[in-house]
Structure 1
Amino acid sequence: MAVPLMVGIDGSESSLEAVDWAAHEAVRHEVPLRLVHAVIADREAPDMVAVASERARKSAPAVRLSSEVLHEDAVSALVGKGRNAFALVLGSRGLGDLAGLLLGSVSLAVAAHADCPVVVVRGGVEHRIGRFGIVVVGVEDGEGSGTAVQFAFREAHVRRCRLVAVHAWSVPVGTPGPPGLSGYAFQAMGRPPADVLADALRGPAERYPDVPVTSEVVEGPVRRALLEASSGADLLVVGARRRHGHVGLQLGLVNHAVLHHAPCPIAVVPQI
């Protein structure tokens, strides 16, 4: 049996937008879609599930659909389901979140603890329907983004679209260097930023030779580079490292920033 794509629902418009996105995603990847509603006690759960199910079938009539109601807190339920999920899809805001929040508390907590990729559906309708034909992935030095790059290539492959790989770097303030040496040249004395990007892309590019790739090496803050690149994208993909000795992921400042401000759906992919 195929591992299902899970989507959390709570009756909010944000969660229904996540259902729309997830229904199309499940059909693209040929996996079943499972609607999950977690609540301690809610008499309206059957109606909520029915509305979400109708929305999914309307968005993608071919989707293989199922649903379940779990009587526990939403974060624990969704993280638990994520142990056997293709991915978890969530809305950016829930019914219980305070006005003014950029990202719902449940979505942030699940993104920080799930074992599978978590997609938070953000942005306007043009970013959610695949209008731009671009997937953006952030690439960092080291192994933290390896699984994210593989995920991004697979997404670009099934969407038949372009992949834009972004590696941003900066020389730390106060770092001594030879007079007259540019920041890029100084950085290249260690490991050239272009090599970091090329090495990260080489293996997945061989696996998905049909995916057109654009590489961008950017001098400046990672957060700004990713937000600018994703302004014309259908999906932004970032990696997350495991925290040694602790449960969950190391989201870091950059991941927190893009989860709160990304103009399009964003996937947080745990390092394997």
Structure 2
Amino acid sequence: MELPVVVGVDGSEGSLQAVDWAAAEAERSNRALRIVHASLWEHYEGVRPRISADRPSEQVHAENLVATAQERVHSLAPGVKVATDVRPEDPVAALLAEGTEAALLVLGPRGHGPIAAMLLGSVSLTVAGRAHCPVFVTRGESQAGAPTYGRVVLGVGGTTGSTSAARFAFEQARSRDCELLAVRAWNCPPYASMPYPFLGGAQETAYRRQADETVDRILGVVDGDYPQVTVERKLVPGTAHQALLEEAAGADLLVVGAQRRHAAIGLQLGRINHAVLHHAPCPVAVVPEWSDGAHPEEQQAA
């Protein structure tokens, strides 16, 4: 059975944007859509629903939220099958549980109340750092429907042998009929570029060549499966987060990988992903890349 797209809603403007993106993604991928609201979200994001005489106020508020989101999906993508769920638990726990049986999770960048002053809401940040499936965070002003810029940007990492993020980026480019831009930053330490007699600039060339080889290795595993996708490569001297933020300014989507370790506790994002989630001018997809090369469910089935 095809796994659904899951979107978390809390009534904020950001979550409505997430609903639009989730509807478009479900329509493109021919998947069902689940709209989820955790009933304890109010305590985290500062929402205080009105009191109802016949039912608990939180229940009324939750039912109204998911019903409104469902109507929005029906108007945007009438062919998408939609289910809704109100879960009486912490929003992070609810969304992480949903992520174990989802193709991807779609979240808004921030919620209600004091948390809205932050660059990224606590729920979205925590879920992006712990989910077992790809997580979309709908940053920026890019529209959810037809591509605005015609480009998906992939941040090519080199910490694991996983190609999960690359494959996800290719699939997104294919479904959107977009170009894929693969970006790899390289940085030569200051001492390595100094004109010592025995170096002669060779170290700087070596660092660039290593970055080029990393892109070759990652793309070489995946690009043969997507011959219809036009791929551009870009090696950028400097820091990775700066390079990705600059390229994301002209993109419909930025895709980054996040290394996961089975025994680790807490966020598993890394400083580069933190930076792009807080500052990217376009939506960001965080794709888990398991350090041992296998998803937990795949290991259990083996």
Q: Does 1:58 align with 2:75?
A: yes
SS, match of residue 117 in structure 2: coil
Maintained 8 Å contact 1:177/1:186? no
Q: Is the 8 A contact 2:9 2:36 kept in 1?
A: yes
Q: 1:43 aligns with which of 60, 67, 75?
A: 60
Structure 1 runs of 4+ aligned residues shifted over 6 Å read none
Instruction: Give, in angstroms, the shift of residue 183 of structure 1.
Output: 5.7
Question: Using the alignment, how far apart are the partners of 1:145 and 1:124 within structure 2?
Answer: 31
2:241 matches 1:223:
yes
Q: Are residue 137 (structure 1) and residue 154 (structure 2) matched? A: yes
Q: 1:214 — aligned with what?
A: 232
TM-score normalised over the length of structure 2: 0.84
Tell whether the 8 Å contact from 1:129 to 1:234 is kept in structure 2 after alignment.
no
Q: Deviations over 1:42-79 (max 9, x none)?
A: 43111111111111112212111111000001000000
Q: Secondary structure at the match of 1:137?
A: strand
Q: Which residue of 2 aligns with 1:8?
A: 8
Question: Which letter maps to 2:70?
Answer: S
Separation of aligned partners in 2, 1:81 and 1:244 = 18
Post-superposition CA distance 1:162-220 (Å, at most 9, x none): 000000010234447662416631425xx522111111101211011110000001110
What is the CA–CA distance in structure 1 between the aligned matches of 2:193 and 2:142, rounded to whole Å?
47
1:79 to 2:73 alignment: no
- Spell out the pairing of 1:249-264 with structure 2 (5 A cutoff): 250-264=268-282
Distance in 2, Cα, partners of 1:210 & 1:74: 39
Gaps in structure 2 of 5+ consecutive residues = 41-57, 291-302
Aligned residue in 1 for 2:182: 165
**What residue is the counterpart of 1:155 in the other structure?**
172
Q: How big is the shift at 1:250? A: 2.4
2:214 to 183, 196, 214: 196
RMSD of the alignment, in Å? 1.9
Instruction: Kindly state the Cα deviation for residue 258 of structure 1 after the two structures are TM-superposed.
Output: 0.2
Deviates more, 1:110-119 or 1:248-257: 248-257
CA shift in 2, pair 1:97/1:267, >3 Å: farther
Provide the C-alpha distance between the structure 2 equivalents of 1:241 and 1:97, rounded to a whole number of angstroms.
30
Q: Which residue of 2 aligns with 1:67?
A: 84
For residue 252 of structure 2, the aligned residue among 234, 244, 253 is 234
Normalised TM-score (structure 1): 0.93
Once the two structures are aligned, what percentage of the paired residues are identical?
Answer: 49
How far apart in 2 are the matches of 1:153 and 1:55? 28
- Please state if 1:100 is matched with 2:120: no
Determine if contact 1:230/1:236 at 8 Å carries over to the other structure. yes
Q: Which has the larger radius of gyration?
A: 2
Count of residues paired in the alignment: 270
Q: Deviations over 1:96-143 (max 9, x none)?
A: 443421111100010111100010001014577521111000002242
Query: What CA distance in whole angstroms lies between the structure 1 residues aligned with 2:166 and 2:65?
Result: 35
Contact 2:253 2:284 in 1 (8 A): yes
Q: Is the 8 A contact 1:133 1:162 kept in 2?
A: yes
CA contact (8 A) 1:144 1:240 kept: no
Residue 245 of structure 1, CA deviation? 2.6
Q: Which residue of 1 aligns with 2:108?
A: 91
